């Protein structure tokens, strides 16, 4: 176990951040799955706007990489255009 107060605090902080990052990454995955299952174009477009902004925000905060966020947005828009 850590001996310094600062390292104990760092352990608490990193655990809290890890849990929050897991939550947002899982939420994003579920949102992407939900959009991919949609068959109505108007409904999918409305959902895509929300999911896209969520993915871009997570990319900016480094919860997922910026490249992954861009790739997911691109593939979702392709899916919606095919509907």
Query: What pLDDT was estimated at residue 65?
Result: 96
Query: What pLDDT was estimated at residue 2?
Result: 78
The pair of three-digit structure tokens given for residue 13, joined into one six-digit string: 């902080």
Q: Residue 3 pLDDT more than 90?
A: no
Question: How high does pLDDT run on average in the chain?
Answer: 96
Query: What pLDDT was estimated at residue 1?
Result: 73
DSSP secondary structure code for residue 40 in this structure: -
pTM (predicted TM-score): 0.86
Q: Is residue 38 within 8 Å of residue 20, measured between CB atoms? A: no
pLDDT digits (tens, 9 = 90+) for 37-50: 999 999 999 999 99
- Helix, strand, coil share (%) of the chain residues, nearest 5: 85, 0, 15
């Amino acid at each position: 176990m850590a001996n310094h107060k600062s390292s104990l605090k760092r352990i608490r902080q990193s655990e809290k951040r890890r849990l929050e990052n897991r939550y947002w990454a899982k939420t994003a995955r579920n949102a992407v799955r939900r959009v991919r299952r949609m068959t109505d174009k108007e409904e999918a477009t409305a959902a895509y706007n929300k999911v896209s902004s969520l993915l871009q925000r997570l990319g900016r905060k480094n919860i997922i990489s910026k490249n992954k966020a861009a790739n997911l947005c691109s593939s979702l828009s392709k899916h919606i255009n095919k509907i």
